[in-house]
Amino acid sequence: MHIKAPIYLLFFLTFVFVFSCKKESEEPVESHYDFRDVFVGKYHVTETINCYGPCGSCSSSKDTIISVYYGSSDSSMNVLGRNIFLDADGYFYNYHYSLRLWNDSISSYYANGGLGCGQNEVYLGNKISDTP
């Protein structure tokens, strides 16, 4: 009987040692990737404005720099003073406004006006900096 007791004690201590060792967490590591990161920055764009209808005629085209920022919520962006919600592919569409951001490019179209007259604002360009 004296020999069986130390064997049981050895198994018990081995069991305690194995299961009391610190193990690595099996929880998945949370990713901090935000799809909007690639769109934030400065863009060199050509701004084209064309009027339509009887309220007057205007036409202009100029080069300018615009900034794209994170928006006021966790999933929005601020582009040309508008707080918008891009999908993961960089698209936004609303009745009078559409926007696409892809690779290092931007395309924005805004129909501003009422029935019969107004102006169309178009911005086309490329990203020049990752800092807004």
Nearest-angstrom CA–CA distance, 87 and 30 = 21
Assess if residue 20 is contained within a domain.
Answer: no
Q: Does the predicted TM-score (pTM) go above 0.75?
A: no
**Region 122-130: what's the mean pLDDT?**
97
pLDDT band for position 116 (cuts 50, 70, 90): confident
**Region 96-106: what's the mean pLDDT?**
94
Highest-confidence range of 1-5, 6-10, 57-61, 98-102, by mean pLDDT?
98-102
Q: pLDDT exceeding 90 applies to what percent of the chain?
A: 53
**Region 82-109: what's the mean pLDDT?**
93
Assess if residue 6 is contained within a domain.
Answer: no
Assess if residue 30 is contained within a domain.
Answer: no
pLDDT band for position 69 (cuts 50, 70, 90): very high
Assess if residue 10 is contained within a domain.
Answer: no
Closest C-alpha to 71, from 132, 127, 26: 132
How many domains are there within the chain?
1
Assess if residue 64 is contained within a domain.
Answer: yes
pLDDT over 90 (residue 127): yes
Structural domain boundaries, residue 78? 38-129
Give the model's pLDDT for residue 34.
84
